[in-house]
Chains A and B, each alone.
Chain A
């Protein structure tokens, strides 16, 4: 990988080729033999070591979590002794039926589209950085940024459950209990966020023509 990099030295001045030891966190210019940043103490690594394997492992975990997150109920509603379960998709359908279209849309995008889109985007990026010829690095960098930015917003549904469970506790008259999917879904959001964090976007640009 390093030999490959140096053959492109003349075209793109990268940190590796210049033997520069700029700290990623505080931007301090360290001497070329430094291993730890002299300013902030962060470890200076050439690349996030085995970052791709970590990303893939986290992606697999999130795909596994995706199944219980969608199949299991995210909450139980007890209304006059009658208990109904609702899943994430079920909640969207109910909201749509009630005519709250904007909210239904928000939940659908945040809880259904964003996690799938994020997983697919990261799978694509992992595949892309393995290619030897990389075209449209800019577009993929954009994709990565969007993926990184939207990840947190999937947590909305978990927070909705938290509020409803706290607010609606009136015994048999009306009460809401959290469902197992809330745990799976929270885990899903965390693992996709970690997968995006561990992904080293520099790989997108490595050995660019």
Chain B
């Protein structure tokens, strides 16, 4: 089995002949401008570094207080999971589930799957479920909303600044770092390259 010599544009169905590109260049569809691939220098290393740090910060963001709300006489501190827990207490189970999936489970799984596939590529290991894991990444990415959650937090804090004093906990900063690492991972993630590398592992040795 070999690498493709031409590709079908995912967006407009045009058949495009592949030409080798060097680092820093990108390959686009001549008709609809869809970007097939972008070659970054040291893409594998960057993906791994951001993936590992992202997962690390995600785990850490469970460990500390997330936000504190202080008014005259009383205060309340929440952890990351409290945003889902309190929705569940009001029997908004579907919204709680959605929040959990789109801001923690799916982005975490994306990072995990990227790392799993990259480990297989880097050390030429034929890990089980390698192809399914790689496929999963593409299906999960559109449902990641971690950065939107962050914007939501900032908006809600602006909404209540007049009512009380807000303090950010360590978990909040960890979550911000997690979102930054995740975003960087998604920038360097290139489906075309990833499958090229996978085929190198699967067929070429």
Given A39-B195, A169-B86, 9 more pairs with CB closer than 8 A? A29-B2, A29-B5, A100-B159, A137-B32, A141-B33, A159-B99, A159-B149, A163-B67, A182-B95
Contacts of A174 in B (CB 8 A): 71, 163
Across the interface, do B76 and A42 meet the contact criterion of CB distance under 8 Å? no
Contacts of B102 in A (CB 8 A): 155
Partner of B94, one of A186, A197, A205: A186
Across the interface, do A40 and B13 meet the contact criterion of CB distance under 8 Å? no
Contacts of B168 in A (CB 8 A): none
Partner of A205, one of B31, B198, B199: B31
B151 close to chain A: CB less than 8 A:
yes
Across the interface, do A186 and B98 meet the contact criterion of CB distance under 8 Å? yes
Residues of B4-58 whose CB lies within 8 A of A? 4-8, 10-15, 31-33, 36
Contacts of A201 in B (CB 8 A): 11-12
Alpha-carbon separation in the docked complex, A103 to B145 (Å): 19
B78 close to chain A: CB less than 8 A:
yes
Residues A41 and B155 in contact in the complex (CB < 8 Å), given A159-B148, A166-B85, A178-B95: no
Contacts of B7 in A (CB 8 A): 22, 27
Partner of B156, one of A16, A152, A160, A183: A160
**Number of A-B pairs, beta carbon distance below 8 Å:** 189
B158 close to chain A: CB less than 8 A:
yes
Chain B: number of interface residues, binned into ranges: 35 or more
Partner of A42, one of B135, B145, B199: B135
Per-residue CB contact flags for chain A residues 136-159 toward chain B (1 = under 8 Å, else 0) read 011001000000000011011111
B204 close to chain A: CB less than 8 A:
no
A195 close to chain B: CB less than 8 A:
no
Across the interface, do B6 and A29 meet the contact criterion of CB distance under 8 Å? yes
Number of chain A residues whose Cβ lies closer than 8 Å to a Cβ of chain B: 61
Interface residues of chain A, those whose CB is within 8 Å of chain B, are 12-16, 18, 20, 22, 24-29, 38-42, 95, 98, 100, 103, 106-107, 137-138, 141, 152-153, 155-170, 173-174, 177-178, 182-183, 186, 190, 193, 197, 201-202, 204-206
Alpha-carbon separation in the docked complex, A142 to B160 (Å): 38
Across the interface, do B8 and A39 meet the contact criterion of CB distance under 8 Å? no
B84 close to chain A: CB less than 8 A:
yes
Across the interface, do A162 and B84 meet the contact criterion of CB distance under 8 Å? yes
Across the interface, do A186 and B5 meet the contact criterion of CB distance under 8 Å? no
Across the interface, do A202 and B11 meet the contact criterion of CB distance under 8 Å? yes
Across the interface, do A39 and B98 meet the contact criterion of CB distance under 8 Å? no
Partner of B76, one of A106, A170, A183: A170
Across the interface, do A41 and B90 meet the contact criterion of CB distance under 8 Å? no
- Which of A18, A98, A138, A152 is the most central at the interface, judged by chain B CB atoms within 10 Å of its CB? A152
Per-residue CB contact flags for chain B residues 110-150 toward chain A (1 = under 8 Å, else 0) read 00000000000000000000011011001000110100110
Contacts of A167 in B (CB 8 A): 67, 69, 76, 78, 156, 160
Contacts of B158 in A (CB 8 A): 100, 103
Nearest A residue (CB) for B152: A159
Task: Report the minimum CB–CB distance from B118 to chain A (whole Å).
Answer: 16
Across the interface, do B195 and A163 meet the contact criterion of CB distance under 8 Å? no
Contacts of A163 in B (CB 8 A): 67, 83, 152-153, 156-157
Alpha-carbon separation in the docked complex, A16 to B13 (Å): 8
Across the interface, do A166 and B15 meet the contact criterion of CB distance under 8 Å? no
Alpha-carbon separation in the docked complex, A141 to B29 (Å): 12
